Structure 1
Amino acid sequence: MPIISPSSIKKDSIKSSSLISPSFKLAATFAKRYYHAAFQNKYIRFINRASKIGISVGVAALIVGLSIMNGFERELKSSLLAVVPDIEFEAVQGSLPNWHATQAAILKNPNVIGAAPYIKVNAMLQQQNDLEAVIIHGVSAKLETSVNATHKYIKAGHWLTQEPVNAVTVATTGINAAQLTDVTSADANKVEAVIGQGLANKLGLSLHDDIELLIPNTSVSGKLAAPKYLKANLVGIYQLGGQMDYGQVYLPLSIIQEKFGWTEQQAEGVKVGLNDPFDAQVLGRQIGSSLHDYVYVLDWFRTNGHVYNDIVMVKDIMYLVMVLVMSVACFNIVSSLTMAIQEKHSDIGILKTMGLTPVIVKRVFVMMGMLTAVKGIAWGILWGVVLTLSIPELLSVIEQLFNVKALDGEVYFIDYLPTELELIQVLVVSVTAFVIAYFATLYPASRASKLSPVELISG
């Protein structure tokens, strides 16, 4: 059995405690002392504090700005994209001959969560003497809920319940045929309609009012004929916010098929819901190429992609601007370090004559600058996180005090300022500020290390 001497234990403990080199410890000691001593000068202290505040403001502003953009991106996905089809496969020639077969082919893709037929047609909604241009959406009441969350935003009334009663519908929806018969026979003469709150307010409509729709019609020769007339009963009013509440009318698919003289198998296209809406462009091409129908592939990037692109562009511009702000603040460190070096000329000269190497001198002033930067970054992270977590409540208080609205729900798809804090972004912002500050300290620190002891003592 080996004998362990006390001297060997002491050596091991020294080795374990000396992971940091003596030169680094020496530089850190001088940096800490010089940092507190040099900034006793009021002017140097002012520039140092200005640098610290600038860095903290830049870091905090970037964290808050990116968090707000994250919030908008989250709301875009959970609100706007929830009611907009991720992909639409629209027939090139009039209509799909058998939308059930097309739907079955689409549902084979594991990334698809739902597929529903539709017919879209431009029309006019007439209410007494008022006419309003609208888009009629002929949809399957049950299948539509798998690709469209509008039914979750019903403010008054209910979502569509009318469904055509046949074997195919029962098989695809899973609804009992007897239940469908009960629903449709309750009031067979009334056509159900669902519209947005904005359109209802504009035309003074309320629940259970009758609305009149004029659908464009063409003759056999292709000339414009008298419009088709359709009367429907308002059974539901939804409220999504923004322009989505205007100009849309949801009707049962079977009613529009009947008006066009189409069979129950025909539809203008099939809309699709995906697990991840941001995969719409890639999956749209993949699924479209596997279909036997000639279809246009329309993903949400074509219709509402400008909203997402605006968010991404603002995020990129914000990051660039804030990095420039942090750069200006960090380069104030150059001024404070230069003046600190000027004050400590004689001290550095004496230390150099005693054997202090240029590398250690450079390291001392790099550490001095980084002390300022680290403090600024720490305060920036603190204020950035606090503001991000409390900004919705703060904005709400400001809106109530000054009777203003930051986001108008009639224009945007939300009426509040959303935020979402991502720790990875906080880390990226912090590292970016740290790297910029490090490069800012190199020039004055290098100049100090290159000065000869004679110049330092005589200067």
Structure 2
Amino acid sequence: MSVFKSWFKRYTLTTKLATRYYSTGVESTYVRFINRASRIGFAIGVAALIIGLSLMNGFERELKNTLLSAIPHVEYEAVDGHLSDWSKTATQALQHEKVVGAAPYFKLNAMVQKGQQMEAVLLKGVDAILEPEVSIVPKSIREGDWLSTPSSDINAEVVIGSGLSEKLSIGVGDKLELLIPSYSETGKLKAPSYLVYQVVGVYHVGGQVDQGQVFTSISPLVEKQGLSITQAQGVAVSFEDPFAARTLGSEVGQLLNDYVYVLDWFRTHGHVYNDIVLVRDIMYLVMVLVMAVASFNIVSSLAMSVQEKYGDIGILKTMGLSVAQVRQVFVMMGLLTAVQGIAWGTFFGIVLGLNLSGIMHFAETLFNFKALDGDVYFIDYLPSEVNVGQVVIIVTTALVIAYLASLYPARKASRMNPVELIQ
């Protein structure tokens, strides 16, 4: 107990000395300018890092909730072209605890024709009931309805994306003409088949998904390919965490009896996620370097403060202040300089991070520009999400940098001879 009281008294004394020296300031105008520059540097570094990471968090959130909700996390595609019984494959996949949904699919490259206009699309046959378990598209219908279960070719239905609908001026109730490839029994390419479907719905997800995918019921499509309704090209699976699809996809693949390709979403859209992660890492490195540069100002200002306080240091040492206490006084002075900048940077970073979407929307309206094109990207606005854990890491990193920068001049002050200092 006595040891604790002794430590507490020493700590209180050094804190009072550091606060008094810091509040009274230094005589040199140049040193005061360096202190301000140091605070501004820390404030800019902390605020920019919080805002930048919040922006990357927003993109990652929208990637998960928008793009990765519209595409399968993993597809198990038959090596020989089709699964003999897709329901058995889906049942085996659902045995894994991380799988939240499984649905069959059959995909064909096709050409959409309207008058003289033609567009390449991916015609995807899906199960109208099971597809909502692996894709958000059925819940993103903007006009019309999702697919029903047609019993004949006469009732064949399709759902198209808003981008394709606007490009070809096709809406709900219109006929959609499709050309799909046909093959002979020997596998040779024949003249394309000509199909006519009725548009029953228009979905809107965002980005290229709205322009390149057309959904129809799987049963009529596989029958046109000479297969039975129990057969499919593959089974699409969704997970609780799409970012773990690469690992979980392999685990689920080991549960299947079929000989399949394991195709995760990283194969087609992984570059988007990799870009987010890369920018986030580079941003963190750059901002840490900005704070490191600001910390050199702390070294300079403390070194000059030590020179101005030669006499005070000598008197304090003569009165019994230990080497460790002198070092603590100047370390605290350096930290007080950094803490002000860190506090302002944290405040402005959190405020701007929480309101970044609204601020950018106001700027876009005021200056009549668009930061993100919804036809190219999967969103048309700047998202933002402040992560408390990241803010704590940023503040801790800044404090550690300031502490390390304060050690050298504080150590130099503590080693001075009191006799020489008083002279």
- Name 2:41's counterpart in structure 1: 54
Secondary structure of 1:233's match?
Answer: strand
Q: Distance in 2 between matches of 1:17 and 1:296?
A: 66
Q: Distance in 2 between matches of 1:255 and 1:130?
A: 26
5 Å matches for 1:58-457? 58-163=45-150, 189-457=154-422
User: Does structure 2 retain, via aligned residues, the 8 Å contact 1:91–1:268?
Assistant: yes
Distance 1:210 1:91, change over 3 A: same
User: Does structure 1 retain, via aligned residues, the 8 Å contact 2:150–2:157?
Assistant: no
Secondary structure of 1:232's match?
Answer: strand
Paired residues, what number? Answer: 423
Once the two structures are TM-superposed, the CA of residue 149 in structure 1 deviates from its matched residue by 0.7
What letter matches 2:16 in structure 1?
T
User: 1:92-128, CA deviations, whole angstroms, 9 ceiling, x for partnerless residues?
Assistant: 0011011111112112222211111100111111111
User: Does structure 2 retain, via aligned residues, the 8 Å contact 1:284–1:297?
Assistant: yes
Secondary structure of 2:277's match?
Answer: helix
1:24 aligns with 2:16: no
What letter matches 2:288 in structure 1?
V
Deviates more, 1:102-111 or 1:129-138: 102-111
Secondary structure of 2:155's match?
Answer: coil
User: 1:231-290, CA deviations, whole angstroms, 9 ceiling, x for partnerless residues?
Assistant: 001111111111111111111101211210111111000101112212212221122112
User: 1:173-210, CA deviations, whole angstroms, 9 ceiling, x for partnerless residues?
Assistant: xxxxxxxxxxx7xxx61311111111111112122111
Where do 5+ consecutive residues of structure 2 fail to align? none
Once the two structures are TM-superposed, the CA of residue 220 in structure 1 deviates from its matched residue by 3.0
Secondary structure of 1:373's match?
Answer: helix
- Name 1:171's counterpart in structure 2: none
Q: Distance in 1 between matches of 2:187 and 2:77?
A: 22
Q: Distance in 2 between matches of 1:207 and 1:40?
A: 78
Once the two structures are TM-superposed, the CA of residue 16 in structure 1 deviates from its matched residue by 11
Secondary structure of 2:266's match?
Answer: helix
User: Does structure 2 retain, via aligned residues, the 8 Å contact 1:134–1:249?
Assistant: yes
Once the two structures are TM-superposed, the CA of residue 221 in structure 1 deviates from its matched residue by 3.6
What letter matches 2:64 in structure 1?
K
Kindly report the root-mean-square deviation, in angstroms, between the aligned alpha carbons of the 2 structures: 1.7
What letter matches 1:143 in structure 2?
L
Once the two structures are TM-superposed, the CA of residue 438 in structure 1 deviates from its matched residue by 0.2
Q: Distance in 2 between matches of 1:367 and 1:252?
A: 70
Secondary structure of 1:246's match?
Answer: helix
What letter matches 1:441 in structure 2?
S
Q: Give the TM-score of the pair, scaled to structure 2.
A: 0.96
Q: Distance in 2 between matches of 1:390 and 1:39?
A: 39
**Based on CA coordinates, which of the two structures has the bigger radius of gyration?**
1
Secondary structure of 1:189's match?
Answer: helix
Where do 5+ consecutive residues of structure 1 fail to align? 1-11, 165-183
Q: Give the TM-score of the pair, scaled to structure 1.
A: 0.89
User: Does structure 2 retain, via aligned residues, the 8 Å contact 1:51–1:372?
Assistant: yes
Q: Distance in 2 between matches of 1:318 and 1:19?
A: 45
What letter matches 1:101 in structure 2?
K
Secondary structure of 2:154's match?
Answer: coil
